[in-house]
Structure 1
């Protein structure tokens, strides 16, 4: 079970890194493109955080300590 959680976290973090790397390798370094990349990375990390919160709430763990 822990492996599945770890695999999901790794997949989301890898996705965020892949998005950032695509930007780094692209020719378009405009402000609009930077905003788009940062928003994509942010959404991916928020998704990860939301999944962690939901998992912790379902197991009764308090993440606010």
Structure 2
């Protein structure tokens, strides 16, 4: 059973999945290339947003 919190990644989890540094992930969020939400003071990235980001990046270089 997948819960909503299983579908939301922390910035360190995104860093690990994309193999990028913290500032790069925050730059992607700030530039709106990677969708995120804020819950209180916590920044979360939907799993689908990471997939969409990867898809868009692949399509750009193709």
Question: Structure 1-normalised TM-score?
Answer: 0.33
Higher-Rg member (1/2)? 1
Task: Tell me which protein shows more helix as a share of its residues.
Answer: 1
TM-score (ref. length: structure 2): 0.34
Which has a greater percent of strand?
Answer: 2
